[in-house]
């Protein structure tokens, strides 16, 4: 996937980083445009995915009809038996790989994506989320959707969303309060606009203290000395406060 450097996106991205109205969290997001031009590494990914699909198909043939349920055929991109649907999955995975260079999403399956009912659905969802959390005026007046529309023609797009399992979440090490990942895919223009955003708590220090440290605090590493007494009289004798008890 070829990254397209769009000037208006740069402005949007600088404004997509803001503190929430509650003050204890901040939102970080970015919008990126990609063209579906397949580079060398992408070709390798495509071949890898195709091989994986063929292997899965072979395995499914060996299982009984009940075991190989239709879940591995139907996908949010259409039936996986059609190569066009597999191509869409490939584009989305390649976009994720390009946007998160520390990660490799080639092991993802189609069921971790969902298709949004319509582009306006996704738009409304994103707007609501951002507005609820205190989207600053600079972002609201930036005509973000107009810029995106000029690149991708939102109305002609298929919109997909990536809902990762906890281990496959590119934001797993930050433990965000929420995050979303939307792909605006225009088949005719062969372009994808990737809109990703997360809300992270500012209270980082708390996560690093273990439960034991929270409860015992400074007493953690000091040995608690217990002393044993053979009889309770002995105990009473040593518990003298002030005058003490005379035995």
Residue whose entry in the numeric block shows the structure tokens 């209270």: 203
Helix (H), strand (E), coil (C) string for 29-50: EEEEEEECCCCHHHHHHHHHHH
Among 7, 58, 65, 101, which residue interacts with other proteins (rule: CB under 8 A)? Answer: 101
- The smaller minimum CB distance to other proteins, of residues 228 and 247, is found at 228
68 SS3 class: coil
Burial class (CB in 10 A: 0-12, 13-18, 19+), 22: exposed
- Going residue by residue from 49 to 88, which x/- string records binding to other proteins, judged by CB under 8 A? ----------------------------------------
C-alpha 121, offset from chain centre: 20
Q: By C-alpha distance, which of 93, 103, 101 is closest to 38?
A: 93
Shortest CB 56 distance to other proteins, Å: 12
Among residues 23, 62, 67, 102, the one that binds other proteins under rule CB under 8 A: 102
Q: Indicate the residue among 103 and 178 with the shorter CB distance to other proteins.
A: 103
**Binding residue (CB under 8 A) for other proteins from 34, 105, 113, 194:** 105
Instruction: Name which of 108 and 148 has its Cβ closer to other proteins.
Output: 108
To other proteins, the closest distance from the beta carbon of 231 in angstroms equals: 12
Shorter beta-carbon distance to other proteins: residue 65 or 101: 101
* 106 to 125: interface string for other proteins, x by CB under 8 A: -xx-----------------
Q: Which 158-187 residues touch other proteins, going by CB under 8 A? A: 167-170, 172
Cβ-contact 12, 4 below 8 angstroms: no
| Residues contacting residue 140 through CB under 8 Å, at least 6 positions apart | 131
Query: In angstroms, what is the minimal distance from the CB of 100 to other proteins?
Result: 8
* Residue 3 binds other proteins, judged by CB under 8 A: no
Nearest CB to other proteins, comparing residues 108 and 133: 108
CB of 194 to other proteins, least distance (A): 16
Binding residues among 198-227 for other proteins as defined by CB under 8 A? 212, 216, 219-221, 223-227
Q: Residue 97: which residues within 8 A CB-CB, separation 6 or more? A: 1, 45, 103, 104, 105, 106
Between the CA atoms of 6, 7, 10 and 12, what dihedral angle is there, to the nearest 10 degrees? Answer: -100
Residues whose CB falls within 8 Å of the CB of residue 170, separated by 6 or more in sequence, listed in order? 96, 100, 102, 103, 164
Count the residues of the shown chain that bind other proteins, applying the rule CB under 8 A: 24
Binding site for other proteins (CB under 8 A): 101-105, 107-108, 167-170, 172, 212, 216, 219-221, 223-228, 230
């Amino acid at each position: 996937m070829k990254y397209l450097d769009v000037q208006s996106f740069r402005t949007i991205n600088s404004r997509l980083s803001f503190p929430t109205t509650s003050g204890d969290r901040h939102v970080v997001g970015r919008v990126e445009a990609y063209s579906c031009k397949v580079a060398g590494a992408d070709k390798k990914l495509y071949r890898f995915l195709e091989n994986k699909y063929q292997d899965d198909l072979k395995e499914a043939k060996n299982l009984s009809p009940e075991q190989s349920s239709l879940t591995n055929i139907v996908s949010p991109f259409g039936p996986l038996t059609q190569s066009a649907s597999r191509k869409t999955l490939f584009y989305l995975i390649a976009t994720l790989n390009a946007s998160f260079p520390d990660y490799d999403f080639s092991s993802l399956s189609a069921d971790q994506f969902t298709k949004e009912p319509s582009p306006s659905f996704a738009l409304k969802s994103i707007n609501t989320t951002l507005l609820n959390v205190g989207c600053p005026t600079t972002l609201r007046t930036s005509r973000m959707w107009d810029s995106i529309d000029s690149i991708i023609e939102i109305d002609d797009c298929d919109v997909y969303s990536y809902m990762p399992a906890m281990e496959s979440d590119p934001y797993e090490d930050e433990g965000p309060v929420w995050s979303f990942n939307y792909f605006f895919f225009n088949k005719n223009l062969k372009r994808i606009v990737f809109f990703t955003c997360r809300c992270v708590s500012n209270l980082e220090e708390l996560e690093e203290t273990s439960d034991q440290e929270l409860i015992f605090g400074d007493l953690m590493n000091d040995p608690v000395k217990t002393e044993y007494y053979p009889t309770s009289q002995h105990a009473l004798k040593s518990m003298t406060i002030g005058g003490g008890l005379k035995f």
